[in-house]
A = this chain, B = another copy of it.
Amino acid sequence: MAASTCFFQSSSPLPFNFKQRNNQIHISIFRIRCYNTSQKHSSVVTLTTDPPPVYSSVKAFAPATVANLGPGFDFLGCAVDGIGDTVSLKVDPDVHPGEISISHISGQTPNIHKLSKNPLWNCAGIAAIEAMKMLRIRSVGLSLSLEKGLPLGSGLGSSAASAAAAAVAVNEIFGKRLSVDDLVLACLKSEEKVSGYHADNVAPSIMGGFVLIRNYQPLELMPLKFPSEKDLYFVLVTPEFEAPTKKMRAALPLEIGMPHHVWNSSQAAALVASVLQGDLFMLGKALSSDKIVEPKRAPLIPGMDAVKKAAIQAGAFGCTISGAGPTAVAVTDNEEKGHIIAQHMVLAFQKEGNLNASANVKQLDRLGARLISSVHLN
């Protein structure tokens, strides 16, 4: 097997080329999971062949995400509009049927050279492979191009966005046969390899908005609708500082005293209630109130405590660490206010942490990963 491709095992006589597929040659009977839109659950449908592509190429975008949100550690996240990763995918007769090849990785992201073109070691590649496995694709090969819009290891769900864009691109090119749960599961395979089996980035990147992960066995995702008539802006300030997820995870306590457990649980519950009720004042308070994770991680990010104070003094409803950091996230209801808050946060990183930082002021993404362009088959 070539380093840049992945081959799917099959009892069928492979390879079949694309023309054979269009001639409706039925190879074998197998089953795939299909999305029941009324129930939002997977169901099993018997097909007589693997699904043909409906496009010759697609481009999909997946947004950045803020996981944890303070007391929502490891089960809550939300998507942020306007920044994210993009995956272009095309049916490629030069790629072995049933396989995927990463042709190109681009972007202004520092350390982009660290990303592997081996799909087995690349977030987009792993998620794309999983999505192809779920669809049992064996008749066409795909080539994938990844455009990184997010910095690596920043706490903005960079790996999740790559995975989400890839999984959605695969699903779109084959006619949207996978459920939301399937897409999240495909991306979880990637997250598992990179940072752990946590869906608090991939689920909101796929689904948009706020998502609560209630269960993994089986996967149960709860989308939490922030009222459409209300504005919610995230001020995301990313310092030039490496906060490896593993190190940030190692800083966590193994045991938690009952009073802190009760406190954090109540704050997580209050956060969810605030999201659903569109109560930004309470959302900010709950976001800022983590007594378990943030107190252990903030000291590892120079200036973080001062940045949080600066954000709140500048009028933010609340502030905490985004994901495992080092990005700080504050919330507000107005873009202009957001920029003022951002200035104060950047200044605090400089002054108290001796770190340069860049800022984004972005709205809640309510859509999630989506097709942004497609080319139909001739």
* A binding-site residues for B, Cβ under 8 Å: 71-76, 212-214, 222, 224, 252-258, 261-262, 264-273, 276-277, 282, 285-286, 292
Contact across chains for B256 and A261 when beta carbons are under 8 A apart: yes
**Contact of A273 with B74 in the complex, beta carbons under 8 Å:** no
Asked if B258 contacts A253 (CB within 8 A), the reply is yes
Which of B254, B262, B272 sits near A74, CB closer than 8 Å? B262
Are A214 and B292 in contact, with the CB atoms below 8 A?
no
Whether A222 contacts B273 by the Cβ 8 Å rule is yes
Contact of A266 among B214, B257, B262 (CB under 8 A): B214
The distance from the CB of A40 to the nearest CB of chain B, in whole angstroms, is 12
**What is the copy number of this chain in the assembly?**
2
Of chain B, the residue at the smallest CB distance from A262 is B74
Point out the residues of chain B lying under 8 angstroms from A285, CB to CB: 214
Q: Whose C-beta in chain B lies nearest to the C-beta of A271?
A: B269
Task: Provide the bound-state CA to CA distance between A265 and B214, in Å.
Answer: 10
Q: How far is the CA of A276 from the CA of B258 in the complex (A)?
A: 26
Least Cβ distance of A312 to chain B in Å?
16
What are 16 A-B interface contacts by the 8 Å CB criterion?
A71-B265, A73-B265, A74-B266, A76-B266, A76-B269, A214-B267, A214-B285, A254-B258, A255-B256, A255-B258, A256-B256, A256-B258, A261-B292, A265-B269, A266-B268, A268-B268
Which one, B264, B269, B282, contacts A261 given CB within 8 A? B264
Q: Which of B75, B224, B261, B286 contacts A214 (CB 8 A)?
A: B286
Are A262 and B222 interface neighbours, CB within 8 A? Answer: no
CA gap between A24 and B75 in the complex, in Å? 60
* Chain B residue nearest in CB terms to A274: B222
Q: List, in ascending order, chain B residues with CB within 8 A of A277's CB.
A: 276
Complex: A264 Cα to B75 Cα, angstroms:
11
Chain B residues lying within 8 Å of A286, measured Cβ to Cβ, are 214
Residues of B contacting A76 in the complex (Cβ-Cβ under 8 angstroms): 266, 269
In the complex the two chains form, what is the Cα distance from A354 to B11 in whole Å?
59
Q: How far is the CB of A279 from chain B (nearest CB, A)?
A: 9
In angstroms, Cα B253 to Cα A258, docked, is: 7
B contact residues around A271 at 8 Å (CB): 269
Q: How far is the CA of A266 from the CA of B74 in the complex (A)?
A: 9
* Residue of chain B at shortest CB distance from A259: B74
Residues of B within 8 A of A258 (CB): 252-256
Give CA–CA (A269, B269) in the complex, Å: 4
Q: Which of A71, A270, A276, A282 has most chain B Cβ within 10 Å?
A: A270
Partner of A72, one of B222, B254, B269, B276: B269
CB distance from A85 to the nearest CB of B (A): 27
Separation of A168 and B261 alpha carbons in the complex (Å): 32
Q: Are A73 and B262 in contact (CB under 8 A)?
A: yes
CA distance A72 to B256 in the complex (A): 17
